[in-house]
Amino acid sequence: MGFDFEGAPGSSFPGWKADAAPGLPDYVLDADAVLKDEGVNWRHGRAPDYSKTRKIWAETKKASHTAGSLPDLVEKLVKNWEIEASYKVDLADWRTIDRSTYKFSVNGGPDQTGEDMLKVGTYNAIIEPNEFYCPMRSSFDASHKTFKRMMPSFAWEVLEVYAGPPKVVMKWRHWGTMKEDYVGVNKGENVRIKAHGGPIDIEGIAVAVVNDKLQVQKIEVFFDPMAMFRQMAPHGDEGVTKQVPEKVEA
C-alpha cells in the first residue's frame, strides 16, 4: 500500500489518492473495525457497545464525507484509535498505532506514550487541572465513570481535513448531551454541576503523523480545555456546588 500525491479525480482532497480499497487496513474503512478483534484483553472483560454513540453521530453530525475520501478514512482511523486507547488494556493489541514511535500531546504539552495513556486514561490525558476537575485525583476508571455518567454518548467527527498524509491536519468536533449531574473532584473539593439537559459541543484541531499503513505515529491535539466545562456550567456558579470532603478520624 502507498500514497499517490499527484491527484485523484473525484477525491475530496486535492493531491490525495489511496491505493485500491482492498489494500487499505480495515480500521480506516470501518469505524468499528477493532471492536471485532478476537483474543483481546478488553477493559471490563468484553468489547464496548458504541451503537448509541454511532446513532447520535449519524443523526446529528455536521459533515457528510464521501466513502473512501480522505476525511472519511481519517475519521474512521481516529474512532478506532479512541476505542483502542479507551478499552484495550494491552498496548500490543492496538492496531491503529505504530508502537515504535507513537506519541500523543495536548496543546503543545509534553509527549505522552501509549503506556502513559493506559495508566491515566483518555480523559485524564486530555483534560488540564481546573476548578471543576483534577486528573491527578481521578483514576482511569473513575474518570470514565464521571464523564460517561454525565454524558452517556459523546460523538466525534472530522469536520475538515486541511493536509495529509503523512502529516494529516484536521478540524474535529466532539458533542453530546448533559443528561445527568456532573460529579467530580478538583484539587481539594468534591464538585457537582446540576445537569441542564442541553448540548455540549466542542471543536479543535489535530495533527497526526501516519506511516504507510495509516497507523498513527504521533498525534497532537489542540483545543480550548475549558470549553466543555463552560458549557456544563453556562451560568457561572449557578447549579454548581463544591464541598471539601470531611476528614475521617483515625
| Integer CA distances (angstroms), 28 to 77, 80, 95, 220, in order | 5, 8, 11, 19
Quick one: average pLDDT of 2-26? 52
Position 247 scores a pLDDT of: 63
User: Which residue's C-alpha cell is 473513575?
Assistant: 142
Quick one: average pLDDT of 216-242? 96
> Is residue 84 predicted with pLDDT exceeding 50?
yes
Position 138 scores a pLDDT of: 92
pLDDT bin (cut points 50, 70, 90) of residue 245 is: confident
Instruction: Answer for the pair 60, 155: CB distance below 8 angstroms, yes or no.
Output: yes
The tens digit of pLDDT for each residue in 65-83 reads 999 999 999 999 999 999 9
| Integer CA distances (angstroms), 140 to 2, 113, 129, in order | 37, 15, 15
Instruction: Answer for the pair 54, 83: CB distance below 8 angstroms, yes or no.
Output: no
Instruction: Answer for the pair 200, 226: CB distance below 8 angstroms, yes or no.
Output: no
Going by C-alpha positions, the residue among 101, 96, 123, 85 that lies closest to residue 30 is 96
Quick one: average pLDDT of 159-166? 94
Grid cell for residue 246? 470531611
Grid cell for residue 136? 491527578
DSSP 186: -
Tally of residues, the chain: 250
Residue 199 CA to residue 47 CA, distance in Å, equals 27
Least confident of 84-98, 104-118, 134-148, 233-247: 233-247
| Integer CA distances (angstroms), 209 to 103, 188, 212, 215, 217, in order | 10, 38, 10, 8, 5
Quick one: average pLDDT of 98-110? 96
> Is residue 1 predicted with pLDDT exceeding 90?
no
Q: What is the mean pLDDT of the chain?
A: 90
pTM here?
0.89
Position 22 scores a pLDDT of: 58
The tens digit of pLDDT for each residue in 113-139 reads 999 999 999 999 999 999 999 999 999
